[in-house]
Chain A
Amino acid sequence: MPDAPRPAAAAPLEAALVHGPDEVWRLSGRWTIEGLGPVLKSQALAVAATKLVTLDGSALDEFDTAGAWVLRRWLGPNAPAPSLLAWPLDAATLMKEVQTDAALPVPTPPRFKLRERLGMAAVGAASRALAFLRFVGEIALAAFGPLRHRRGWWLRTIGHEIQIDGYDALPIIGLTSFLLGVVVAYQGADQLRHYGANVFVVELIGYAMLREFAPLIGAIIIAGRSGSAYAAQLGTMVVAEEVDALRTIGIDPLQRLVLPKVAAMVVALPLLTVFADITGVFGGMVMARSRLDIGYAEFIDRFGRVIHGSALLLGVGKSVVFALIIATVGGFQGLRTKSSADSVGRQTTLSVVQSIFLVIVADALFSVAFSVLRL
């Protein structure tokens, strides 16, 4: 208690409770958060208090809410108020306050049965899917509806986004794709050499990179690099009420914040894919020369003859769809943020996980569709 100077520097006097004659219990030491440890573990509190007790506070050094609550719990519910003998004034006030307050119900969070939780998860998933569909619809409406801003603004904004999401990602995408080309060629080289089919490494590299790896690696890196940043940016704007502010000014957040991003991604990702094609094939070419004795000239010559242009177009076409997925999911999850720091983090993670998942699902669907169409 502040009245008496606290022996903060002195050796801690641990709280103790001693049973004396005539149901007088003698409190001593510091009945505070620091001093309570030992008495909680000791046997003193294990002895149930009888109906009417007297608490002797003459040796009490300090007393706080925690001490009062330990006593209250020890005395039991609905116990008659104990008589307080020789207590310091403010400790007695606090004790009485805690003692006389009606037994507060400590509400517990509702618990659900497994079946109920299953139902809630199902409804939640369905409503999220519906909300995503609606979001896609809203974007489409916003895109084909009248555009509010001037042409200069659109060009500037989209150009800026392309710079950040496309141009700035060139080194990482180029390097990753190059290494991927090296790995694919290396794995293929041994098998092909067995059959003396060294030269087919060109087909392997060409089709694998152009049709599958370049669009996929580009999409995955952009989802992790730009999709997450985008969701976090939107989420923070939601928390700071900036998105609400846009709405009240009469600016559609979808047009202002989401459409430029979608447009920029749709331009940037196919371009990045073409770049990844080039560096990936180059990686394969380097590997083919060192492990399979196929020179650059021979590689390029055969590449031009056997690889159809359609392989490039299919890969680039897929990347357009991947770009739409990444930008839409990022915008959707970002704008679903609730007003807390926690929520920003969760939505950002969700945006990355979901967009990569959906990109791979889309890729699988493309494979099925292409094989049915014999492309």
Chain B
Amino acid sequence: MTAPTGDVIELREICTRFGSHTVHEGLNLCVRRGEILGLAGGSGSGKSVLLREMIGLQRPNSGEVRVFDQDLATLDAAQGQAMRRRWGVMFQRGGLFGSLSVRQNVGLPLREHSALDDALIDSIAEWKLALTGLPPEAGLKLPSELSGGMLKRAALARAIALDPELLFLDEPTSGLDPASSGGVDELILRTQALFDPTIVIVSHDLDLLWQVCDRVAVLGDGRVLALGTMDELSQDSQPTVAAYFTNHREAGPRARRAAA
């Protein structure tokens, strides 16, 4: 793994409100270059909202989001476009386009951003699909014809289509059986070994957090309650954090094995 140098994402004093409901209140977080950072926390703790703010789909009510040393709020259209070229996002439900085949889905960012010819784009898309462990015939299918696990893989293949420096994964294992979830762990590690991106993972899945994350941030009460390696967090004495980990630890055998 790369030695972390500098911060890729900096969040400063983020406040987010929906009406009278406050999601983030003065939240600070930095993501270091080359690390895999997990965002954990109970439902409604604002993990997904924070992810959306990092990729510019949503603006915090106040505070600053800096990605690659640029403030997202002050980017002009061209800078924004250049920035979007450097990251890849995998959405929770895939976000694959239903009218395109899986291979066209993966090839879309390449077609959009490069001068490569169609045959080459198809080869690259096919290779990325194979990297994520999908069989070649899956490329011709429509997303609606894939199973949940295959959909996640196809979504990851599209997220890494442009060899991003920064990869966002929203709940990459939700809705998968334990065996498939284990496959996703390896997939993420393999992706990191090959392209060396900084990865931000939003997940409830403690196993995934144990297996792949360098650091984990636990969100709660509108801020980062705790930040550190999983070992450090599991020793944390704050009641909310401790409860989060204990409850999960008792949840399944895979978690216990990982913790042992």
Check B130–A107 contact: CB distance below 8 A: no
* Any B CB within 8 A of the CB of A98: yes
Check A33–B116 contact: CB distance below 8 A: yes
Stretch of B39-47, B55-63, B132-140, B235-243 on the interface side: B132-140
Check A90–B196 contact: CB distance below 8 A: yes
CA separation between A6 and B165, bound complex, in Å?
Answer: 10
Q: Hey, what's the 0/1 contact readout for A32-52 against B, CB within 8 Å counting as 1?
A: 111011001100000000000
Given A70-B120, A338-B144, A340-B142: A3 in contact with B2 (beta carbons within 8 A): yes
Nearest Cβ in chain A — how far from B149, in angstroms? 17
* Any A CB within 8 A of the CB of B113: yes
Q: Is the interface of A mostly helix, strand, loop or mixed?
A: loop
- Which chain A residues numbered 48 to 88 have a C-beta less than 8 Å away from chain B? 64-66, 69-70, 73
CA separation between A232 and B198, bound complex, in Å?
Answer: 41
Instruction: Name the interface size band of chain B.
Output: 35 or more
Which residues of B sit under 8 angstroms from A109, Cβ to Cβ? Answer: 101, 140
Check A69–B127 contact: CB distance below 8 A: yes
Given A2-B34, A33-B116, A107-B136: A340 in contact with B123 (beta carbons within 8 A): no
* Any B CB within 8 A of the CB of A8: yes
* Any B CB within 8 A of the CB of A342: yes
Check B140–A107 contact: CB distance below 8 A: yes
* Any A CB within 8 A of the CB of B162: yes
* Any A CB within 8 A of the CB of B260: no
Check A37–B115 contact: CB distance below 8 A: yes
* Any B CB within 8 A of the CB of A104: yes
Find the A residue at minimum CB distance from B109. A33
Which of these, A1, A41, A104, A343, contacts B136 with CB under 8 Å?
A: A104
Check B110–A101 contact: CB distance below 8 A: no
* Any B CB within 8 A of the CB of A152: no
* Any B CB within 8 A of the CB of A301: no
Given A33-B162, A65-B124: A340 in contact with B114 (beta carbons within 8 A): no
Which of these, A2, A33, A342, contacts B114 with CB under 8 Å?
A: A33
Which residues of B sit under 8 angstroms from A93, Cβ to Cβ? Answer: 193-194
Which of these, B86, B99, B110, contacts A340 with CB under 8 Å?
A: B99
CA separation between A342 and B104, bound complex, in Å?
Answer: 15
* Chain A residues near B (Cβ < 8 Å): 1-3, 6, 8, 32-34, 36-37, 40-41, 64-66, 69-70, 73, 90, 93-94, 97-98, 101, 104-107, 109, 338-343
Extra contacts, 15 of them, besides A66-B114, A69-B120 (Cβ < 8 A), are A1-B196, A2-B34, A2-B197, A3-B2, A34-B85, A40-B115, A65-B127, A65-B128, A66-B163, A93-B193, A104-B123, A104-B127, A107-B140, A340-B98, A340-B144
